Chains A and B, each alone.
Chain A
C-alpha cells in the first residue's frame, strides 16, 4: 500500500477540544477514525477518546496484517466502543453517559469500507469532484431529503446539531455502512467533523485538494475554516488520505507499507489530555462560573450542614 496521510485537530473558538482523530496501518490495511465528542453532555472528549482508542486497539489486535472481514470488523469495533463508553460511565456512576459521533474507514487491497454513526462525515473525492459522502444521522438531513427545507434553511436550522445516532447513548448506535468502494490512484478520502464541513462544502474541498499535497492543503483548509467559524467556532478535525498506486513512485511524504513486517502496526493517536498548545483566555463569565462552581462545592461538602 502507498498513501499520503494527514491528520489534525483544532480547537476553534471553543474552550476545549472534544474531537479526536487517529489512524493506524499495518502492511495490508489502513484504518482512519474521527470522533466528535458531544457538547451538552458531560465529558464528550472522553467518549471520543474511548471510541478512537477502542477502534485503534481492535485494529492493532486483529490486523495481522489484513482483516478477514472489514465490515464485520468495523461493526464489532464500533459496537465495542459504544459499550466501552457505557461501562466507563457506569463505573464512574455518571448520571448521563458521555456521547460521541464516529466515522471510521478501512482500506484494504485498494478497496475502501466505511461506517459511521452521527454527523461526522467521510468524503470521497476523485479528480476534484465529490463522488461519495456519508449521510448525517441528523433530523435536518431527514427534513432536507423529504424536501421540507432547503440547503440554506438547513444551514441555519436550530436543530442542525441534533443527531439520532451516536455512541454512548441509551440506545445502541445506528451504524451505516458504505459499499465496497474500489479506490483509484489519486483518490482522496477525507474524514472530518462538523466544525469543518459546517463551514466548507464538500465540493469546494474536493477542488482545493485536487492534486495538492495534503500535508499543506489540509492545514490551509483548516485555517480557512477556523476563520469562517469565527471566535465561537466549533472544534475542527480531519484525517485525510491520498491513495496511490503501488507501482507509481513520486512524492517523498508518501507512506509505503511494503517493507513492514507482517504483524507490525503503526498508530498515530494523540495521548489523552489537554493539548499542550492549549491556551486559556479566561473570560469574565468563565471566572464567574468557576467561582460559582467552587462556592457550590464548598456549600456541598461543608460539614455540619
Chain B
C-alpha cells in the first residue's frame, strides 16, 4: 500500500469529556474509537480523518493538512456533517444514535452510542451457510423498521451491507450504523463526494448517473445482504451483472432449503431494473412478515411443463 495510514489517537488520550479506550476500526475517511464518557458509559467516537488529505504521524495529535488539500478536506467535512445531521434527526431503536458532535484537533468528532455485539458480516462469516430462515426474517424485519424511519426522513442510507448492520449482543436486535454515504434526497441531487459504495451490495443506480437513486436502491442492498446471509459471501456486483448477469437466482440456488417466499423476496429485491423491485420498505416488510403458506396444489404437469422441468434439472 503506497498510501500512508493514519495513526490513531493513543489509548488513554482524553478528548473533551471522553477518554479513548482503543481503536475500533480504521476506514478511508475516518477512525472509530471506543471511549468512555464521564459517567463511565461506553461510546463509539468517529473521527473525521480522510487518509489522502490529512496525515497524523506516529506520536502526533494534530493531523497535518497541507494547504493544497485544505479545500478538499473541508469539502469532505461537509459530508461528515451531513452524516451527523442525518443521524441526529433519527431516534429509533434500530438506528444508531448520535450523542454528541464536537470540534477538536483541527477536525470533527461524532460520538455515538456503543453496545456490545457484532456486525451481521461477522455473524455470516462465523455461521458460513448455516443461518436459519427464522434468524434472517427476525433480523431483517426489525432492521427494516429502522430503514423505514430513515426513509421517512427523506434520507437514503446508500451503503447498506452486512457490515453496516450491527447486532446487539443481548437480543440480536439489529442496528443500522455508518451513515457516511447517507444523503438528503430533498434539496440535493448531486453527489457531494465521489460515490461511496460497496461492490456486491450497491444497486445498479449507484453506478450510473445516480439520478434514479431512491428507496429501491437501499432495497437492492437489503436483498443483496439477505443473499449474502444464505451464500456466505457477497453476490456478484451490480455493474458486472449489468454486463453479464451470472448471479444465480436465490429461487434456484436454494430451492427447497428455504421457504419459496423468502427466496422470492430476495430475487425481487435483486432485480436489476429498479422499477421491478419493491418500491418502498413498507411493501417489502409486508411480504416479509406475511407468513401464509399457499396451499400446495399439485396440478398434473402438462407435457410442456415436464419438458421445462427436465431442462431445468439439466441446467442445474
B189–A303 CB distance below 8 A: no
Cα-based distance from A46 to B77 in the complex (angstroms): 25
Chain A residues near B90: list those with CB within 8 A: 301
Cα-based distance from A124 to B71 in the complex (angstroms): 42
B85–A293 CB distance below 8 A: yes
Q: Mark B60-100, 1 if CB is under 8 A from A, else 0.
A: 00000000000100110110010011001111000000111
User: Main SS of chain A's interface residues?
Assistant: loop
Cα-based distance from A297 to B88 in the complex (angstroms): 5
A294–B101 CB distance below 8 A: yes
Judged by a CB distance under 8 angstroms, whether A14 is at the interface is no
Cα-based distance from A240 to B26 in the complex (angstroms): 53
Question: A255-289: which residues lie under 8 A (CB-CB) from chain B?
Answer: 271-276, 278-282, 287-288
B108–A281 CB distance below 8 A: no
Are A303 and B101 CB-contacts (below 8 A) given A273-B189, A291-B108, A297-B85? no
B101–A298 CB distance below 8 A: yes
Chain A residues near B100: list those with CB within 8 A: 295, 298
> Which residue of the partner chain, among B75, B88, B187, contacts A301 with CB atoms under 8 Å?
B88
Cα-based distance from A271 to B88 in the complex (angstroms): 29
B189–A274 CB distance below 8 A: yes
Chain A residues near B75: list those with CB within 8 A: 279-280, 282
Judged by a CB distance under 8 angstroms, whether A227 is at the interface is no
Judged by a CB distance under 8 angstroms, whether A290 is at the interface is yes
> Which residue of the partner chain, among A46, A278, A287, A288, contacts B190 with CB atoms under 8 Å?
A278
Judged by a CB distance under 8 angstroms, whether B303 is at the interface is no
> Which residue of the partner chain, among A275, A288, A297, contacts B89 with CB atoms under 8 Å?
A297
B88–A273 CB distance below 8 A: no
> Which residue of the partner chain, among B71, B84, B187, B189, contacts A294 with CB atoms under 8 Å?
B84
Are A281 and B81 CB-contacts (below 8 A) given A294-B101, A295-B101? no
Cα-based distance from A301 to B102 in the complex (angstroms): 17
A298–B88 CB distance below 8 A: yes
A274, A287, A294 pick with most chain B CB within 10 angstroms: A294
Judged by a CB distance under 8 angstroms, whether A148 is at the interface is no
Cα-based distance from A293 to B187 in the complex (angstroms): 17
B188–A298 CB distance below 8 A: no
B78–A282 CB distance below 8 A: yes
Chain A residues near B84: list those with CB within 8 A: 290, 294
Judged by a CB distance under 8 angstroms, whether B103 is at the interface is yes
What residue in chain B is nearest A272 (Cβ atoms)? Answer: B189
B190–A294 CB distance below 8 A: no
Q: Mark B173-214, 1 if CB is under 8 A from A, else 0.
A: 000000000000001111000000000000000000000000
> Which residue of the partner chain, among B74, B98, B103, B189, contacts A280 with CB atoms under 8 Å?
B74
Judged by a CB distance under 8 angstroms, whether A302 is at the interface is yes
Chain B residues near A278: list those with CB within 8 A: 190
B71, B100, B190 pick with most chain A CB within 10 angstroms: B190
A287–B108 CB distance below 8 A: yes
B102–A291 CB distance below 8 A: yes
Residues in chain B within 8 A of chain A (CB atoms): 71, 74-75, 77-78, 81, 84-85, 88-91, 98-103, 108, 187-190
